[in-house]
Amino acid sequence: MKRFTIGLATTFHEPAIAIVGPDGDVLFAEGAERYLQFKRAPNCEPDLPGRMVELAREYLEPDAEIVVATSWGAQFSEFLDRSASAGAFAFERLAGLSSKLTRSMVPEIAERTFIASLHIGQKRAGLGVLLGLHRAFGKANAKLRRYGHHLTHAAYGALASPFDEAVCLVVDGMGETGASGIFAYQNGRVSELVRHRGRESVGFYFGLVTDLCGFDQTKGEEWKVMGLAPYGQRDPALLDELHRLYKVENQRLVFADEVTIRDAVERILARRPGDVKEGWADLARCGQDVFEEMMTVLLAETAAKSGSKNLVLAGGCALNSSFNGKILNGGPFQSLFVPSAPADDGNAIGAAWLAHGEDFPDWRAPKGPISPYLGSRVSTKDLDRIAGWEPRLKRLGDRVVAETARFLADGKLVGWVQGRAEFGPRALGNRSILADPRPANAKDQINAKVKLREPFRPFAPAILAEHGPDWFDDYQASPYMERTLRFREEKRALVPAVVHADGTGRLQSVTEEANPRFRSLLEEFHKLSGVPLVLNTSFNVMGKPILHSVDDALTIFYTTGLDAVAIEDWLITK
């Protein structure tokens, strides 16, 4: 009997589902936010029963054996049960908590509200799978297993990597006992080296900075701090207050006590400008700098615990692409891998792979980096009908690539929907909005006409991989848009729309093997423009997830300033 494994990421935010086949290959992986069109999908199930019916019929077999794996360990689930029975999650207890400092680094807030959400998620983990299997096949039989949160982070990152051996550093807001851990990867298996204890964390620190800058960490707006930081200045007084939040003892991070944290926050708030609608740039700069100091301490400890020169970085803090691009510059590591979904959504694959490896001890993951194109396809079956009343919609076949390249070279803004959706937060050429990077106003045009977001937010370059060394200093391959590198000075004026205020760009290296059609589009644009890269941003508007369906794509087309949208072989233009 064949055995399939369904992995569930069941954290408060970024719930996700992954399906691993009998041979260990990832058949499907997707965050719940895409299907629900609800940003980050807080407190939502990753295995909604109706969705599970569709997935079961597409990827599973009626008589198969099913294992469901989740991303929090059994001991932690027991802790959640004890806390619930003690009334720690009672509504009146939660409602009485102060919201002044949100959740950041303050135990009473960071713990109870967040962990209460985890308790709800753990209690219903796998129920949607069972209901979906029953509706799809008339029966439901599945075994449930739980794995440590940081272990699932490490398993996904390490097994998805191109390395035969590596050391993995996991850094996020919190795990079962702490907020970071170090793992060894050898012989296809992941083992724990160091478990950091304590609820204070680098992740909570950056969430605190996010809130103090005028943004909202509950909405996952930490990326706004990264985007705003290059516009700020280093302020010695702000740095002094941020440095009070931690110290280094015996080469390890030690966070301040709650009284010190509250006092530092009050002092920072007293200096905050009156209007922070667009964020507080100087604090963003200082906050990013201190984040990098903390991460450097953790990396030094990681290197000291392992002789490996290959680093895998996972956990929510691995989304800090500004820092990721600096790790190999003079540091202790020679190679870096960050998976396409390093935050909690990636734990769906990590949990599934851990269960599969437990059942098949001789199994080894295929050589990475694995494809990020693991999500849903859009259905184009209604486009023939729409073309009957929408004369601007044409089916072009393979000519859609050349036509889209011509539109881009003419300065048009184009939505691009092809193949399977990317797994993770970044559009990598299958659910993208594209533009010519040469006009200086292209960035402002997209922000104002389509994305409807803050003007300081940067846009990323997608570049033909072999041209990377000609355009970036100390070039590193970046398949998932996971690191920021510095543009060569002589190239910056050629593509101002994708050069950030500090001369950097969060690039995507595009290869034939990874994405042949997107690669062809870049090649056609290169022929027309002489530039081997395009501006690439996610196909959504601010506050919404990346699109999931043809309806989503057409809605954005009709309600924003997009000039055209290519959907598989179809092109619609204004």
Q: How distant, in Å, are the alpha carbons of 209, 243, 317, 426, 443 from that of 226?
A: 11, 19, 12, 15, 17
Q: 98 pLDDT exceeds 90?
A: no
On the question of pLDDT at 428 being above 90, the answer is yes
CA distance 549 to 567: 10
Task: Reduce the DSSP state of residue 358 to 3 states and report it.
Answer: helix
Q: Identify the band that residue 104 occupies on the pLDDT scale cut at 50, 70 and 90.
A: low
- Residue 106: per-residue pLDDT: 52
- Residues contacting 42, CB < 8 A, separation 6+: 12, 13, 117, 218
What is the pLDDT at residue 102? 46
∠ Cα 273 279 280 (to 5°)? 45
Tell me, what's the pLDDT at 122? 73
Question: Please, what are the domains in the chain?
Answer: 3-160+343-359 (3.30.420), 202-337 (3.30.420.40), 383-573 (3.90.870.20)
Say what the pTM is.
0.94
Cis peptide leading into residue 15 (ω within 30°): no
Q: What share of the chain is helix, strand, coil (3-state, %, to 5)?
A: 40, 20, 40
Q: Is the pLDDT of residue 400 over 80?
A: yes
- Mean pLDDT of the region 25-48: 95
Choice among 146-150, 401-405, 417-421, 448-452 with the minimum mean pLDDT: 448-452
Q: Please give the structure tokens belonging to residue 284.
A: 């963003």
- 313: phi then psi, degrees, rounded to nearest 5: -115, 125
Closest C-alpha to 196, from 217, 170, 219, 215:
170
Per-residue burial over 18-34, b = 16 or more CB atoms within 10 Å of its CB, e = otherwise = bbbbbebebbbbbbbbb
Contact 43, 89 (CB under 8 A): no
Structure tokens at 411: 């300065």
Question: Which range, 1-5, 130-134, 506-510, has the best average confidence (pLDDT)?
Answer: 506-510
Convert the pLDDT of each residue in 161-213 to its tens digit.
999 999 999 999 888 888 899 999 999 999 999 988 776 689 989 999 999 99
- Output the pLDDT for position 486: 98
Q: What is the pLDDT of residue 457?
A: 87
* Residue 401 pLDDT exceeds 80: yes
- Please state the rounded mean pLDDT for residues 14-25: 97
Contact 4, 334 (CB under 8 A): no
Over 80: is that where the pLDDT of 109 sits? no
Residue 108 reports pLDDT greater than 60: no
Average pLDDT value for the chain: 92
Q: Is 560 exposed, middle or buried (0-12, 13-18, 19+ CB in 10 A)?
A: middle
The pLDDT > 70 percentage for the chain reads: 92
Strands 3-9, 65-70: parallel, antiparallel or unpaired by DSSP? parallel
DSSP H helices in 343-398: 347-359, 383-387
pLDDT band at 397 (very low <50, low <70, confident <90, very high): very high
Q: Give residue 134's pLDDT.
A: 93
The CA distance from 548 to 517, in Å, is 19
In the sheet that holds 564-567, the strands lie side by side as: 393-395, 570-573, 564-567, 414-417, 431-435, 533-538, 460-464, 508-510
Q: Which residues contact 433 (CB under 8 A, 6 or more apart)?
A: 413, 414, 415, 416, 427, 446, 450, 451, 536, 537, 538, 539, 562
Residues 154, 152: Cα–Cα separation, whole Å: 5
pLDDT tens track for 327-337: 999 889 999 99
- The pLDDT, as a whole number, for residue 84 is 61
Contacts of 303 (CB under 8 A, 6+ apart): 167, 331, 332, 333
| Residue-level pLDDT at 103 | 47
